[in-house]
A and B are shown apart, each in its own frame.
Chain A
Amino acid sequence: MQAAERRVDKKDKNEPWRDPNAEAYVRIENITKRFGDFVAVNNVSLKIFKGEIFCLLGGSGCGKSTLLRMMAGFENPTSGSIYLDGQDMAGVPPYERPVNMMFQSYALFPHMTVEKNIAFGLEQEKGLSRADIATRVTDILEIVKLGQFAARRPHQLSGGQRQRVALARALVKRPKLLLLDEPLGALDKKLREATQFELINIQEQLGVTFIVVTHDQEEAMTLASRIGVMNRGEIVQIGTPTEIYEFPQNKFVADFIGSVNMFEGTMIEDLPDRVRIKSDDLGGVIYVDHGISSAPGAVVYAAVRPEKINILRQPPADTSENCVKGVVKEIAYMGDVSIYLVKIDTGKVVRVTLPNVERLSDDERILWDETVWLTWHGSSPVVVTQ
């Protein structure tokens, strides 16, 4: 698939955030926003690099939309600064910023045709002749594949088409930065998937820096070159999708992205290259094959993702570590995978995901109330301390 190949290419491209000397395109420094007593954004600092798709991911009320609006110029920070391409945006109104926004509701002007909607932004710029405007409008319509809908009005378009008009209208001005507020929220699942890849294509074609705000993890994982997870007005972790998923830095992130099994315990062996945790939650010992940094005797949490756990019907050879016995309580058949909820002796319910690789007969399949053993590899757990 073409899109997938391009994604792989992208991973080989430079990762500017790893270079300590790289100049950030967007610099957010100590931004705080208060509404009366309520702190919506609490001392957030970010660096976003040119050509990135950066996703702000979080639940409702976490402050991501407020942060986006401050970048667009619709809210003024209570304190802190925003720099775009080296320029301080303090006091710059939205109509003077080289930033454009794609609104969640699309905000298409209902009394104008698609063409006029897109041309509106260009008409506000000085020094563009009518011919120039017309050419650019036609070009962008080609890119979003809406060429033949130019003369229609918004209420004559379907949801997906409206979304593309909104995108075209923002992109035609060739902004330095494009802000997208829950861009795929209103689309149905199939359309969403297709549009996700299209968005990435368009972004690469035009080279615009995107900042996307979303609460949908799948969207963030697909689109983003880097994700910033937000909770209660603060940035909790920044990283690539892989980093966020495989190496969460705290309980919140581990729990927020995908599902996770969390085992609380204390460290009984703390070496640079391995760690052993005694967990009462688990009723056993967890062996982790990499070192972690934590205070001695501190309480830690081992997070194990459901897809990394094996279910065995016979006890394995070594049951001393990374192994626990349980009874299957629930099975949810999802078509491509099955989710097993296994109740272990301590009373905790562990979630395990297995792909439905083969078609098994009834006695081969694992069934309800069956006693099973769960195991996982030493590299699977991620240990977080808060």
Chain B
Amino acid sequence: MKPANRNVAARDAYGRVSPLWLFLMKYGPPRWSEYVVKNWTGQRLVIAVPYLWLLVFFLIPFLIVLKISFAEFSPLGRPPYEPVFQWLEEGALQIKLLIGSYVYLFNEPLYVSAWIYSLKVAFFSTVLCLMLGYPMAYAIARSPPTQRNVLLLLIILPFWTSFLLRVYAWVGLLKTDGLINTVLFKWLGIVDEPLAMMNTSFAVYIGIVYSYLPFMILPLYSNLEKHDNTLLEAANDLGAGPIKSFLRVTLPLSFPGIVAGSLLVFIPAVGEYVIPSLLGRTDQLMVAKLLADEFFLNRDWPKASAVAIAMLLLLVVPIMIFQRFQNKELQAAKR
């Protein structure tokens, strides 16, 4: 006969139980019923595959970076750091954690200025990108459906071409003898001498806005497109002019799109490497370049790791906000 309370324990959000497990559940030892519910083998395997991959190749590397950031730099070593964990002959485990790298990060003016500069550049690039991207997304969302598809195509096309090559294109434009100077200086004579635009902050701003514009437009567009036109009509009907209805109806409703787009630009921009390398200043570096130099040029792995950890900590909050938004969008799409 079926023991009544065992079934109560087994019926759970966990779903289906196969006949073999059911048999074991009925006639096996009492604690098995718990075990049974949690061991739906098929599902577990499917979950395990991507999970394990990400744990091994995404999460564990971060732990290793953390470990090495506390290691001692040994310039001639292969690899160039002293082991953090070491088994001594007596069977004891020696753990040597040095916070020297971190102290250096916070004190060395080169680093501090690099941090501040990176944040500043990323912030203003995001703002500029938003100021250009929002009207564009708005115009696309308001255009008739056939035009809309073509416009979206035009926005997405650059995204599929090589990022590196598109940044390279700006090298050709911004050089002293590049296209822009040719037009302004040689042909139109608007300026007295060629503008020095390469290797400036200005060039970096342009580079970031240019490269990340589609990432700003697409989330904004996908939000704006869902807006109900009748809301604006209602606002107009109640007496609000076009600017007011925009500020009080459209803008607040598009807030999730603004946040998503801004985070998609800001977070990677802080850690940008290619754009500052090709277009940026040589006297003021961004953190990514600093990390790469520390790693490849100085071979100082502990310090490079410390920079990476510090960057991670800096970006953890924005990353979590971004993920919260991602989740919300997915939940909304389910309805």
Contacts and interface: CB of A to CB of B under 8 A. Distances in A.
A76 B15 contact: yes
A78 B14 CA distance: 11
A91 B36 CA distance: 11
Contacts of B19: 91
A143 interface: no
Contacts of A79: 7-8, 11
Contacts of B22: 90-91
B12 interface: yes
B291 interface: no
Interface string A38-53: 0000000000000000
A154 interface: no
Interface string A235-252: 000000000000000000
Given A90-B22, A91-B22, A78 B11 contact: yes
Given A90-B22, A91-B17, A76 B12 contact: yes
B11 to A, nearest CB: 5
B72 to A, nearest CB: 52
B16 A90 contact: no
Counting contact residues on chain B (CB < 8 A from A), the size range is: 10 to 19
Contact of B16 (A77, A88, A93): A93
Listed residue (A73, A77, A81, A91) with the most chain B CB atoms within 10 angstroms of its CB: A91
Interface string B1-21: 010000110111001111101
Contacts of A81: 7
Contacts of B12: 76
Contacts of B7: 79, 81, 90
A358 to B, nearest CB: 48
Contacts of B2: 88
Interface in A68-84: 73, 76-79, 81
A91 B16 contact: yes
Interface in A55-109: 73, 76-79, 81, 88, 90-91, 93
Contact of B10 (A73, A88, A91, A93): A91
A77 B11 CA distance: 6
A77 B15 CA distance: 10
A90 B19 CA distance: 10
Nearest to B14: A76
Contacts of B16: 73, 91, 93
Contacts of B25: 91
B156 to A, nearest CB: 26
A76 B21 CA distance: 16
Nearest to A33: B11
Interface of A: 73, 76-79, 81, 88, 90-91, 93
25 contacts: A73-B16, A76-B11, A76-B12, A76-B15, A77-B11, A78-B8, A78-B11, A79-B7, A79-B8, A79-B11, A81-B7, A88-B2, A90-B7, A90-B11, A90-B22, A91-B10, A91-B16, A91-B17, A91-B18, A91-B19, A91-B21, A91-B22, A91-B25, A93-B16, A93-B18
Top 10 A-B pairs, shortest CB-CB distance: A93-B16, A91-B17, A91-B22, A76-B11, A79-B8, A77-B11, A78-B11, A90-B7, A76-B15, A76-B12
